[in-house]
Chains A and B, each alone.
Chain A
Amino acid sequence: MKLTVNGASVYCYTNSRDIAPERPTVVFIHGSGMDHTVWTLASRHFARHGNNVVSVDLPGHGRSTGPALTSVESMADWLIDVIDSLDVKEAALVGHSLGSLVALDCASRFPNRVRALGMVGTTAPMPVSDAILDASKANEHGAFDMLTQWGFSKRHQFGGNRNSGIWMIGNTLRLYERSRPGVLYHDMAACNAYKEGLENAAKVSCPVLLLLGGEDRLTPVRGTRGLVEAFNNPQIEILQGSGHTIMMEAPNAMLDALHRLL
């Protein structure tokens, strides 16, 4: 589905269905440099289970046009505009990495619009190393390599995908390589600059799921203690064996966990 939001074309995957006002809505938000395809399995699942699914391409990503946004807050404002343009009053937000911060920011600032918050592969604050920032700013392939290698658990560096025939490392690299120049840097810089995560987490009133990879090297579990304490009684699930790229590394366990939230 294509929408026009703030003058730019926005793509949302909806499982080829119209948004039905009587159905609950789940919005999926991808991470840095990615697009909606990382949520294909989950989107298809929750669509079949009676939900409107809206898996967005953030501005400048995937099939959405316009310049990439440069802050988590602006992405959150944009996401509310997207939800408005779909006439959706209230939605569950599920985000991965950068997308999880966007979802968090929405949930804290627009509590009446967010009925549940799923943060996948997350932490707050989410500092980004200078090496990744510098490489992504220079549009160097090394940025893709670092994020891909550190984005998977050590065991999944060698695959073992339960989704037959798909080499996760290669698929992830191709997604990064498809991103437009500068987009990954803006995403990384937005993650790095978002310092209000803990403060905003304390304002969230809806049910919260923190879905973490036990071997996540980009947003390690040990770094989420502050976030866990900031939320009011969050649901925490740690997927052993998974790294940061939980949608690929543990797709079935992720679905089961999201079911418990949604």
Chain B
Amino acid sequence: MSAPDYPGLDTLALHAGSQPDPATGARATPIYQSASFCFPDSDYAASLFNIERAGHVYSRLSNPTNAVLEERIAALEDGVGAIATASGQAALNLAILTLMGAGSHIVASAALYGGSHNLLAYTLPRLGIETTFVDARDPAAFKAAIRDNTRLVFAETVGNPGLDVLNIPAVAEVAHAAGLPLMVDSTFTTPYLIKPFELGADIIMHSATKFLSGHGIVIGGLLVDGGRFDWDASGRFPTLTEPYVGFHNLVFSEEFGPAAFIQRARKEGLRDFGACMSPTTAFHILQGIETLGIRMSRHIENTRAVVAFLSQQELVTRVGYPELDGHPDRALAAELLPQGCGAVFSFDLAGGREAGIAFVDALNLFSHLANVGDAKSLVIHPASTTHHRMDADALAAGGIGEGTIRLSIGLEDARDLVGDLKQGLRAAAKVAKSKAGAV
């Protein structure tokens, strides 16, 4: 006799965290659009405030709709718990400020979303938290950058926008040897493509705005605790292992064991910083997650078709998709991302910035905007938009050139996407030809 199989991803995506509504029998998760919740009596109220009972007090701290989303992503990632936040950036900030304070240090991949880079490089130093950026492809560089005051190692599962594949097992080993947790941003990959906790990561964050939602109608973030990192053994995290005066000397690792991190993040960070998610947003994200599996499958199918097309075009000097021959992460991607490397990738056009702009402007089906992971296909020029705050060196470290174009491949018919790209390439070719003639 052996244990029955755990429910699969598609089943969890539909059911995890939800039960028919106990009040009405509603099968869909209701939107509990209420700021606060009534207490049946004073002792019940006191017990909720003192973490003695399960329940809700105030929607900045928890909400029944958000709770379903939080359980669902924790289930999909095989974590112990999660918190829904106002955005992916809020999730990142919540994680960092739960783990450390002034005088601390982070080692992060240089290949990050521009917003994450901005927070780490420019904003957190004002609060006394510094970051050293290293080559995402070099675990030894992560190791070399760790200092006595380092408290977190952070990277994206696949870098934005170059799709540098993070060697999670190797970087996790480096982090754990130094008594540090590894947090990964799995926005581009979702639990459909990779399970970072199984590979050694300790904390996962998502911008749920992207593939988890798929519809592009809300902003939201998710922070997930894997529950395997031993905060007590590390000895570097007093916020989790020493009495917290802000909650009657509660010691989170003592009282919550594997869920110490996510509980502190809720009891302190969500309470004090207040970057909570609206229950209506949580509802919308839940609708997206219900179809995560079939959408991601189609995203990958379309991406492979577009990548194959672009790879054959003379005007395209590079396609940065890790499944291609010549990509530096091809072998690693085959090992860690066998179902695909996501639906966001970049490529370079001959003709540089001018050709890139002409290409983007000529597209019709692809929407020119600053987002990824929508059901609709998207395009952007990173150097002038998402990554415009980065200087030339930082851009180069992130694998971004002047003529780099980033695509997010949606769910349209692949034939139509390729047709639109042909149109863009024709416009870019004219610019490239005239530029060459001018020279």
Contact of B52 among A44, A160, A167, A177 (CB under 8 A): A44
B54 contacts A129, CB within 8 Å?
no
Give the contacts of B216-273 with A (CB-CB under 8 A). Answer: 227-228, 243, 248-249, 251, 254-259, 262, 266
Q: A165-B71, A178-B258 are in contact. Are A41 and B82 (CB under 8 A)?
A: no
Closest B residue to A170 using CB positions: B80
Closest B residue to A37 using CB positions: B257
Is A89 interfacial (CB 8 A cutoff)? no
In angstroms, Cα B254 to Cα A229, docked, is 39
Query: What distance in Å separates the Cβ of A225 from its nearest Cβ neighbour in chain B?
Result: 25
Q: A16-B243, A166-B81 are in contact. Are A40 and B50 (CB under 8 A)?
A: no
Is B408 interfacial (CB 8 A cutoff)? no
Is A251 interfacial (CB 8 A cutoff)? yes
Is B47 interfacial (CB 8 A cutoff)? yes
Is A226 interfacial (CB 8 A cutoff)? no
Contact of A255 among B53, B74, B258 (CB under 8 A): B53
Is B293 interfacial (CB 8 A cutoff)? no
Q: Is the interface of B mostly helix, strand, loop or mixed?
A: loop
* Interface bracket on B: 35 or more
Q: Which of A41, A155, A162, A165 has the most CB of B within 10 A?
A: A165
Q: A48-B50, A159-B75, A170-B78 are in contact. Are A165 and B19 (CB under 8 A)?
A: no
Is B200 interfacial (CB 8 A cutoff)? no
In angstroms, Cα B262 to Cα A174, docked, is 14
Is A45 interfacial (CB 8 A cutoff)? yes
Query: What distance in Å separates the Cβ of B26 from its nearest Cβ neighbour in chain A?
Result: 14
A residues near B82, Cβ cutoff 8 Å: 165, 167
A165 contacts B3, CB within 8 Å?
no
B266 contacts A174, CB within 8 Å?
no
Closest A residue to B17 using CB positions: A159
Q: Which of A35, A37, A145, A175 has the most CB of B within 10 A?
A: A37
B52 contacts A165, CB within 8 Å?
no
A174 contacts B258, CB within 8 Å?
yes
B3 contacts A146, CB within 8 Å?
yes
Is A6 interfacial (CB 8 A cutoff)? no
A171 contacts B80, CB within 8 Å?
yes
Closest A residue to B79 using CB positions: A170
Is B294 interfacial (CB 8 A cutoff)? no
B228 contacts A177, CB within 8 Å?
yes
Which 7 A-B pairs give the minimum distances between C-beta atoms? A162-B54, A164-B62, A174-B258, A167-B74, A45-B52, A145-B3, A163-B54
Can you identify 14 A-B contacts, CB atoms within 8 angstroms?
A: A41-B54, A44-B255, A48-B52, A131-B2, A145-B3, A158-B12, A159-B18, A164-B62, A167-B81, A174-B80, A177-B228, A178-B258, A252-B55, A255-B53
Q: B residues within 8 Å of A by Cβ?
A: 1-4, 6-7, 12, 15-19, 46-47, 50-56, 61-63, 66-67, 70-72, 74-75, 78-84, 227-228, 243, 248-249, 251, 254-259, 262, 266
Beyond the given A37-B255, A142-B2, A162-B67, could you list 18 further A-B residue pairs with CB under 8 A, ordered by the A residue number?
A35-B257, A37-B254, A40-B256, A41-B51, A148-B3, A150-B3, A158-B15, A158-B16, A161-B17, A161-B54, A164-B61, A164-B62, A164-B66, A169-B6, A170-B75, A170-B81, A171-B227, A174-B227
